[in-house]
């Protein structure tokens, strides 16, 4: 029910608000020291009314960073491919789910994310503990578990609208906190991560 509420608010946003937020988010994210030092960033292409990521992806690439993007597998796990600009994306319809923009080039395997210095995560909300509320498909729960089992320790950053930083979201034992949230108004870091 909470997911539906956040999605309903997002669905009321205008294209102008989404576009403006994407540009501002890119500016804020690029100020992160973690991104300034990164060689490889695992990110995603926003869809629908998610905070826009294309401006940020192009800026990361322009800085010479290796940008990995996910490709959804039939079991909801994620494979990865390199972002080589907007022409390297393909619109992929996954059954009854929403269409996603995925890298059209070579697949690098689900473990490619373990080489990332920063992982940009989609979400619907994050709370004061850094706990992220995702869409409920479990894809990024698998990514976070894969990072943990590989001993990888990238910076985990979620990109959201200001109103999506809330006091508390439900969390389960397998959920992992993020290190920071970037919103149009700024960056918030979380203690203990």
- The helix/strand/coil state of 35 is helix
Contact 124, 158 (CB under 8 A): no
Question: For the segment 107-145, what is each residue's pLDDT rounded down to a tens digit?
Answer: 999 999 999 999 999 999 999 999 999 888 889 999 999
pTM, rounded to two decimals: 0.95
Average pLDDT over residues 145-158: 97
Q: What is the pLDDT of residue 193?
A: 55
Range of the domain at 145: 2-189
Annotated binding site for ATP: 132-140
Question: For the segment 47-64, what is each residue's pLDDT rounded down to a tens digit?
Answer: 989 999 999 999 999 999
Annotated binding site: 45, 50, 132-140
- The helix/strand/coil state of 6 is helix
Indicate which CATH number applies to the domain containing 95. Answer: 3.40.50.10420
Angle formed by the axes of helices 15-30 and 54-62, nearest 10°: 30
Question: Considering its fold, how many domains does the chain have in total?
Answer: 1
**Distance of alpha carbon 64 from alpha carbon 135, whole angstroms:** 31
- Among the listed residues 147, 153, 159, the one whose alpha carbon sits nearest the alpha carbon of residue 185: 159
The number of beta carbons lying within 10 Å of the beta carbon of residue 8 is 9
Annotated binding site for substrate: 45, 50
First CA to last CA across the chain, in angstroms?
28
């Amino acid at each position: 029910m909470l997911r539906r509420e956040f999605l309903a608010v997002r669905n009321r946003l205008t294209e102008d608000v989404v576009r403006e937020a994407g540009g501002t988010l890119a500016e804020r994210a690029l100020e992160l020291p973690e991104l300034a030092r990164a060689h490889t960033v695992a990110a995603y292409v926003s869809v629908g009314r998610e905070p826009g990521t294309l401006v940020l992806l192009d800026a990361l690439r322009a800085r010479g960073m290796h940008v990995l993007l996910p490709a959804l597998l039939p079991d909801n796990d994620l494979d990865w491919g390199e972002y080589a600009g907007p022409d390297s994306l393909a619109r992929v319809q996954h059954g009854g789910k929403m269409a996603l923009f995925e890298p059209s080039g070579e697949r690098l395997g689900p473990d490619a994310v373990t080489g990332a210095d920063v992982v940009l995560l989609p979400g619907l909300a994050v709370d004061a503990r850094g706990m992220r509320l995702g869409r409920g498909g479990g894809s990024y729960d698998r990514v976070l578990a894969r990072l943990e089992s590989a001993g990888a320790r990238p910076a985990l950053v979620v990109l959201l609208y200001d109103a999506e930083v809330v006091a508390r979201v439900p969390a389960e034992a397998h959920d992992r906190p993020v290190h920071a949230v970037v919103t149009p108004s700024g960056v918030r870091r979380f203690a203990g991560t």
